[in-house]
Every structure is written in C-alpha cells, then in structure tokens.
Amino acid sequence: MTDNKAPDSSRRSERSRRAIYDAALALVTEVGYARTTIEGIAARAGVGKQTIYRWWPSKAAVLLEAFLDLADQAADGNYDFPNTGDLEADLKAVLRATVDEMNDPVYDGPTRALAAEGVIDAALGAQFVEKLLDPPIQLYVGRLRAAETAGGLRAGIDLRTAVELFIGPLTHRWLLRTLPLTHEYADSVVEYALNGLSPRG
C-alpha cells in the first residue's frame, strides 16, 4: 500500500475504480482469494493491467481496498454504534443488521472467501483482522464501556472478551452454516449474553 495513489477525480477513473472493485470481489467469490490475479481482475473489469498497477502495488492491496469499500457500503455511511441508552435494544439492532449482511450474497460471497483464506494464511488473516474486523469490534467495546459507565454492566467484565459473546456465536453460525441465521437467533444471543444462562435473582 506504499504506492496507493488517490484516484484522480474524473468520472472516468471513478468508473474504472468501481469496475475494478466489483471485478475483484466477483472473482474472489468465484475462484477464491488465492487464485484471484491482477490479470483476472483487469480482464473482468475491462481495464488494462497497467491501470490497476498505477493505483495499487499488489493484488493484496487492491483486494483490501475492495473489501474496505464493501464494508463502507454495508455501513452505509453509519459508523457509530447506536446508543439509545438501552444496551439490549442497541445490540439487537446491530446484530440483526449483521445477520442481514451475512445473509446477503453481495457481502457473504467475497467475505466468506476472504475469511476462508485468512483461516489458512496467518499473515493475510492478521491483515483481515486488523483492517476489517478490529474497527467494528472497537465500536462494540466503546458501546459496552458507555454501558459500564452508566452502571449497566457487572463489575470487572473484560469488555473485549464480552464482545466475543455477541459476535462469536453469529460468526460461528455464519462460517460453519450449522443452523439458519435469523433475527430471532440474534435476539436470543443478546438476551442470553446480557442476562446469563443461570437463574438470576
């Protein structure tokens, strides 16, 4: 990413950039991360290889940006974790939206291919975690911290670990396809994690 020049602002380069992202994500979905090549992306996007190399130094760099762009589109300009004062409602809203994303082929296809490659390739996996997974995890941590300050969490909870009680079950069901991913499931995960499985009171 050392040579990652900003695109010029003409409509034509924006169109090429969009075509390159789309081609990269489609190809990753179809043939997997490892077998996606700059040549393949260029051919599918209808641009010359040199157009890609002018903007990105490597296949990894163009794919990372395509994935960041996909995440941006999924976020739809909304990068704040909701804070209505009702932690349970906020977590359910976010996890339901995550379920919808995981069930959307536009997101599922390329993200699944990237995750599978990251499971095998530790270096790629680390980049995936750092650039794509940690930022949303930190939003969860921030929301839990606000709840903690407001007295809505038990004392002594490790917030980073607590986040995994929400995203771990959803990711497990998404990646391993054990059972259907539904809003009801997301709601149950939130309720169980917040209130625990043992009798209360």
Instruction: Decide if residue 1 touches its own copies (CB under 8 A).
Output: no
Instruction: Decide if residue 152 touches its own copies (CB under 8 A).
Output: yes
Instruction: Decide if residue 143 touches its own copies (CB under 8 A).
Output: no
Residue 20: Cβ within 10 Å count: 24
Rg (CA), the chain: 19
Q: How far is the CB of 12 from its own copies (least distance, A)?
A: 35
The whole-angstrom separation of Cα 152 and Cα 82 is 15
Instruction: Decide if residue 139 touches its own copies (CB under 8 A).
Output: no
The interface with its own copies within residues 88-127 (CB under 8 A) comprises: 112-113, 115-120, 122, 125-126
The interface with its own copies within residues 70-89 (CB under 8 A) comprises: 87
Q: Which two tokens stand for residue 162?
A: 């607590």
Instruction: Decide if residue 141 touches its own copies (CB under 8 A).
Output: no
- Could you tell me which of 158, 189, 162 has the C-alpha nearest to residue 94? 189
Q: Within the chain, how many helices (H) and strands (E) appear?
A: 10, 0
CA 22 to chain CA mean position, Å: 16
Residues that bind its own copies (CB under 8 A): 32, 87, 112-113, 115-120, 122, 125-126, 128-129, 133-134, 137, 144, 151-154, 157-158, 160-162, 164-165, 167-173, 175-179, 185, 188-189, 192-201
